Amino acid sequence: MKKRVYVVHGWSGKPDGGWRAWFGRELEARGYEVNLLAMPEPDTPRIETWVPFLISEIKSPDEDTILVGHSMGCQTIVRFLETLPEGIRVGKVVLVAGFLDNVTGLDDAEEIIMRPWLTTPIDFLKVKRSTREIVAFFSDNDRFIPLTEEKAMKEKLGARTIIEHTMGHYGDKNSITEVPSILEEVIRE
């Protein structure tokens, strides 16, 4: 069976922004089915719209399903995993510049949008049971995601973490168009 990859962009992101267009092409060339999702209302992400949208896009999650998220997309994936019925799990989750507890560098209006994502509880045990593996990428110069989030991902999600140098927020505005380490992690069995 063909592996299916769903890629969830972050806040104000685009499906093919930053490294995601290259990433999708590379995976397709290797025989993966790739879904670069266009999240609803990307400039005002809300749990109550983003998580149901992801549920509607991933019809039959299973061990051949790989989820890749960037920033707010990571939160969305974690919350999606929390909704899966007992016994259903995806094969792999790759979180890029994700967060659980803390985001920095936001203005007052952005803080209002972010608040529910940081304060609405997550059942971490259920999330861990809903996937075979979680890998989380961080950069040592991300202005939004402090490296304390790396520790939180390890402790709360049992994630294997990777800290890269000078990747910023891996965002669409960083001029980062290829991230081979993320590709390698997805295709690694």
Amino acid at 21: A
What are the tens digits of pLDDT across the range 87-134? 999 999 999 999 999 999 999 999 999 999 999 999 999 999 999 999
In contact, 3 and 27? CB cutoff 8 Å: no
Domains of the chain, earliest start first: 4-187 (3.40.50.1820)
Q: How are strands ordered across the β-sheet holding 4-8?
A: 33-37, 4-8, 65-70, 92-96, 134-139, 160-164
Low-confidence stretches of the chain (pLDDT < 70) are: 1
Residue 166 Rama label (left phi>0; alpha psi -120 to 50; beta)? left
pTM of the model: 0.97
